[in-house]
Amino acid sequence: MCLMKSHPSPDLIIGYTTRRHLLLDLDKTSLTKTAALARLIMREYPEVGDCLILRSSEGDGAISLKYDNYQRPYHRVNGDSFHLVFDGLIGYNKACRIIEALAGVHVLNRDYVKIREFRGDMTLRISSTSLYSGLKPAPVCVTGIKNKAFKGVGEGIEAYLRVSGRRSLSQPTRQGSEPRAL
């Protein structure tokens, strides 16, 4: 009889939850595409404010063959995953409309919209977590993008940094790398 566990024990996962500003979780993409999407959102919806980009996990670059809903094949690169934290206090309904628009043009999965509707909030992981494949580290700040068109009050990024254990963008991340300022 084997007494070894087949998977890691459940971990406490700490998340940041809000209904006041926009949070996005982008999986298997590049920093270039993530930053371009953030700029597009800020141009179309200036009220979202500044944007903080965090790397939530690193991909291995493996290329696989996948099939879409119509059974058409496409190549999928296992890229990094990123979190976007926007600063403007836009409210839950406006954030959901932005998410629905992104899902409508296939930037986000339709399931992402359904999960937001079911949960009634926006949540991003801020702690490390155990997976079957090993430990997934806590998200780290990569960069910030300043929204020159934003005229409102922004508290989203500061609230996120406070909850995740940092006082400001200039404070080093948990991995010791220095993020670039907004």
Res 54: pLDDT: 93
Q: Pick 124 or 7 by higher pLDDT.
A: 124
Res 3: pLDDT: 45
pTM score: 0.76
Q: How far apart are CA 111 and CA 163, in angstroms?
A: 27
Lowest mean pLDDT among 116-125, 135-144, 173-182: 173-182
pLDDT-derived band of residue 5, with 50, 70 and 90 as boundaries? very low
pLDDT-derived band of residue 177, with 50, 70 and 90 as boundaries? very low
pLDDT digits (tens, 9 = 90+) for 17-70: 889 999 999 988 889 999 999 999 999 999 999 999 999 988 887 888 888 878
CB 78 within 8 A of CB 105: no
Instruction: Enumerate residues 6+ apart whose C-beta is below 8 A from 108.
Output: 24, 26, 99, 102
pLDDT at 147 over 70: yes
Res 161: pLDDT: 78
Q: How far apart are CA 34 and CA 56, in angstroms?
A: 12
